[in-house]
Structure 1
Amino acid sequence: MASIAGMSISAPSRSLSFQQSQPTKLISSLKSVSFSTQRKSFSSVGLRSLCFRVSCAAKEDTVQKVCEIVKKQLALPDDSAVTAASKFTELGADSLDTVEIVMGLEEAFGISVEEENAQTIATVQDAADMIEKLVENKSA
């Protein structure tokens, strides 16, 4: 997986790398793009199908608000290190705690999280990305 300025590109069973000399404004509002292709021309390099997913991370203020809610729901001290990469289980959350975190997020952001979406949340970043998607869909 390659990461550039908040974007990641991954391809199953292959590692990709590329360089970008400067960030571009054209993708600043990009949330998620996925595409795949199957072409015979890829078979010459041993690829039958090539899939890319480009996604941009949630806004920093959303991540920070999620961190605060997680700290509150888990009764963690204010100086606890909770970051976007923090896993709920590593912070001591069990399944009931995770449900309470999701309920706190729903209340704080004015959203409703479907059960199947709630089950996919493992990190603060997962929660922040889901929240921004739901808020965007709600306003659309």
Structure 2
Amino acid sequence: MATTSCASISMQAPVSVSARQKPVSSFSFGKTNLSFNLHHRKPARLAISCAATQETVEKVSKIVKKQLSLADDKQVTAETKFTDLGADSLDTVEIVMGLEEEFGITMAEERAQKIATVEQAAELIEELVKEKGA
């Protein structure tokens, strides 16, 4: 059974700059020397965001697994890259064709070539479906 995941990304890392402390980095551009120190007051938080719905991500994952003849137990998530699954350019074209058929859409070649992950495919699909319905 395939599992998909989607989380949200935000980075929060308060920093302070102090001229009294020993510089961490120094840059020289022509006649100007810049130096600064970065100090984290709190640990940074990291989360990942997925704009596509979970349902769309799951459908895309299922189609990708079918097109690449992957085992049922192979995990394909929103972050999964087609190349990590062993897909070459021909496989990617077949994936796009399968997605177009499943969702009743047509992807412009320029946009389809930019798809590298399940999430990117799902987001483009939702955008095209929305445009089609408008």
> TM > 0.5 between the two?
yes
**Alignment partner, residue 26 of structure 1:** none
- Which structure has the higher relative contact order (CA within 8 Å, separation 6+)? 2
**Alignment partner, residue 118 of structure 1:** 112
Structure-1 separation of matches of 2:101 and 2:108: 14
**Alignment partner, residue 132 of structure 2:** 138
| Identity over aligned pairs, percent | 63
**Alignment partner, residue 60 of structure 1:** 54
**Alignment partner, residue 98 of structure 2:** 104
Structure-1 separation of matches of 2:52 and 2:78: 10
SS, match of residue 69 in structure 1: helix
Q: How big is the alpha-carbon RMSD for the aligned residues of Structure 1 and Structure 2?
A: 1.9
Larger radius of gyration: 2
Structure-1 separation of matches of 2:74 and 2:50: 26
Q: Which structure has more helix as a fraction of its residues?
A: 1
Q: 1:109 to 1:90 in 2, by over 3 A?
A: same
What is the Cα deviation at residue 57 of structure 1? 1.4
TM-score if structure 1 supplies the norm length? 0.62
Residues 1:17 and 2:12 aligned together: yes
- Which 5+ residue runs of structure 1 have no aligned equivalent? 10-15, 19-54
Q: 1:138 to 1:8 in 2, by over 3 A?
A: farther
**Alignment partner, residue 94 of structure 1:** 88
1:68-87 mapped onto 2 (5 Å cutoff):
68-87=62-81
Instruction: List structure 1 segments (4+ residues) > 3 angstroms apart after TM superposition.
Output: 5-9
TM-score if structure 2 supplies the norm length? 0.65
Q: Is the CA contact 1:84–1:123 (under 8 Å) kept in the aligned structure 2?
A: yes
Structure-1 separation of matches of 2:9 and 2:95: 27
Q: Is the CA contact 1:88–1:122 (under 8 Å) kept in the aligned structure 2?
A: yes
Q: How many residues are matched?
A: 94
